[in-house]
Amino acid sequence: MGKIISFQKLSESHMERIYKAAPEMELIVADESDVWKSHLSDAEVIIGWHSLIAEHIIQPETKLRWIQNWGAGVNHFPFDRLAKSGIVLTNTSGVHAFPIAETIFAMVLSFTRKLNTSIRNQINQVWKSETADEIHGKTISIIGVGAIGKETAKIAKAFGMTVWGVSYSGRPVANVDKIVKRNGLEEALKESDFIVMTVPLTDETRHMIGEKEFAVMKPSAMYINIGRGQTTDEKALAAALQSGGIAGAGLDVFEQEPLPADSPLWKMDNVIVSPHHAGATVQYDERAVEIFLRNLEDFIAGREPSVNRVDLAKQY
């Protein structure tokens, strides 16, 4: 009997669906009892991730064939070891598209309509009216046009915005007016009123946005990062915000998390800080289970899981 070990807490209904889909496999949900450790060597499928897995199970003779990550980010996985052992890695990319796109526009509208200032004034019981801007007719650049980028572009068009996209392939994308590869990044930044960073963290995207990139942005530009903190040089960002190089930033991810108490970003009036929860939604687990079950169907049929399969060479 094959074994599935889940390091992700599953509801009774979700476990029942897995039992029904794979009646000949044993499902072990890891808890604080550590009973799951005795099953590691027999696990063919892992849901989620645990630091002990790499040490104890990713070996040449391992029975492990597939890992289903419960998030989109996979930068913490040992790609080389997975590739050498022939282990398939899939993620839940796409389950975040709605909540993260909504968070992006919550930040965009908060800055543009000065809601962030109004909230601060309310706390201090200050009655102060200010003239706000509009996003209709503005230009937004989306760096990384995967599921989140596509949903963001769709919403942007509803506001009558001009949409630029920066992608690895440069292929046309629905609702994106102009798509460029990375060599067109500077042009996109120069044109944009809002820059949205959604790319995963890889060797190529680490500090993709830094001093040089902030220098070409409009002084009125708003920078939003909901991808991975390490894709942005945080010191360069803070300097651009303090000097007036850009107007503001909405940040859900940071180079170090939690954000250190001494970070200047905490006290900047032109920054919105959220604790890496843009993708959090009550719908998350249901959508993630759907992806897992589709892959599980392939696995049981003797096929390699293909939904959201991670390219181990590209690291996303």
Q: Is the peptide bond before 78 cis (omega within 30 degrees of 0)?
A: no
Q: Are residues 162 and 75 in the same domain?
A: no
> Is 52 a residue whose pLDDT tops 90?
no
Amino acid identity at 151: E
Under 8 Å between Cβ of 153 and 163 = yes
Residue 151 has what pLDDT? 98
Q: Are residues 104 and 225 in the same domain?
A: yes
How far from each other are the two terminal CA atoms of the chain, in whole angstroms?
Answer: 31
Beta-carbon-side half-sphere exposure of residue 310 (alpha carbons within 13 Å): 31
What is the pLDDT averaged over residues 164-181? 97
Over the stretch 116-149, which tens digit does the pLDDT of each residue have? 999 999 999 999 999 999 999 999 999 999 999 9
The residue from 55, 134, 257, 286 that is catalytic is 257
DSSP secondary structure string for all residues of 140-206:
EEEE--SHHHHHHHHHHHHTT-EEEEE-SS----TT-SEEE-GGGHHHHHHH-SEEEE-PPP-TTTT
Report the 10 Å Cβ neighbour count for 92. Answer: 23
The residue from 17, 206, 276, 287 that is catalytic is 276
Q: Are residues 112 and 199 in the same domain?
A: yes
> Is 221 a residue whose pLDDT tops 80?
yes
> Is 33 a residue whose pLDDT tops 70?
no
- Could you tell me if residue 307 is inside a domain? no
The two structure tokens encoding residue 16: 């029942």
Residue 38 has what pLDDT? 86
DSSP secondary structure string for all residues of 242-278:
HHTSSSEEEES--SSSSPPTT-GGGG-TTEEE--S-T
Q: How far is CA 312 from the centre of its chain?
A: 17
Q: In angstroms, rounded to a whole number, what is the distance separating the alpha carbons of residues 18 and 26? A: 10
Q: Are residues 54 and 20 in the same domain?
A: yes
Q: Are residues 109 and 160 in the same domain?
A: yes
- Could you tell me if residue 65 is inside a domain? yes
Residue 34 has what pLDDT? 77
58 versus 235: the higher-pLDDT residue is: 235
What is the pLDDT averaged over residues 16-25? 97
What is the pLDDT averaged over residues 38-67? 85
What are the phi and psi torsion angles at 55 (to 5°)?
-70, -40
- Domain containing 13 equals 2-94+283-300
Domain CATH code at residue 51: 3.40.50.720
Where does residue 169 fall: left (phi above 0), alpha (psi -120 to 50 degrees), or beta otherwise?
alpha
Over the stretch 81-123, which tens digit does the pLDDT of each residue have? 999 999 999 999 999 999 999 999 999 999 999 999 999 999 9
Q: Are residues 18 and 160 in the same domain?
A: no
Task: Find the length of the chain.
Answer: 316
- Could you tell me if residue 313 is inside a domain? no
- Could you tell me if residue 15 is inside a domain? yes
50 versus 71: the higher-pLDDT residue is: 71
- Could you tell me if residue 73 is inside a domain? yes
32 versus 10: the higher-pLDDT residue is: 10
Q: Are residues 81 and 185 in the same domain?
A: no
CA distances from 238 to 81, 107, 206, 207, 225 (A): 37, 18, 17, 14, 13
Over the stretch 259-302, which tens digit does the pLDDT of each residue have? 999 999 999 999 999 999 999 999 999 999 999 999 999 999 99
pTM for the full predicted model: 0.91
- Could you tell me if residue 278 is inside a domain? no
> Is 60 a residue whose pLDDT tops 80?
no
Q: Are residues 73 and 102 in the same domain?
A: no
> Is 32 a residue whose pLDDT tops 70?
no
Q: Are residues 121 and 252 in the same domain?
A: yes
- Could you tell me if residue 237 is inside a domain? yes
Q: Are residues 27 and 168 in the same domain?
A: no
Under 8 Å between Cβ of 298 and 186 = no
- Model confidence at 35, pLDDT cuts 50, 70, 90, reads confident
Number of domains in the chain: 2
The residue from 151, 228, 234, 255 that is catalytic is 228
Report the 10 Å Cβ neighbour count for 279. Answer: 20
> Is 61 a residue whose pLDDT tops 90?
no
Q: Are residues 196 and 89 in the same domain?
A: no
To the query of whether residue 228 is one of the catalytic residues in this protein, the response is: yes
Above pLDDT 70, what percent of the chain?
99
- Could you tell me if residue 10 is inside a domain? yes
Residue 54 has what pLDDT? 79
Q: Are residues 216 and 247 in the same domain?
A: yes
What are the phi and psi torsion angles at 197 (to 5°)?
-100, 115
What is the pLDDT averaged over residues 218-224? 98
Over the stretch 150-161, which tens digit does the pLDDT of each residue have? 999 999 999 999
> Is 56 a residue whose pLDDT tops 80?
no
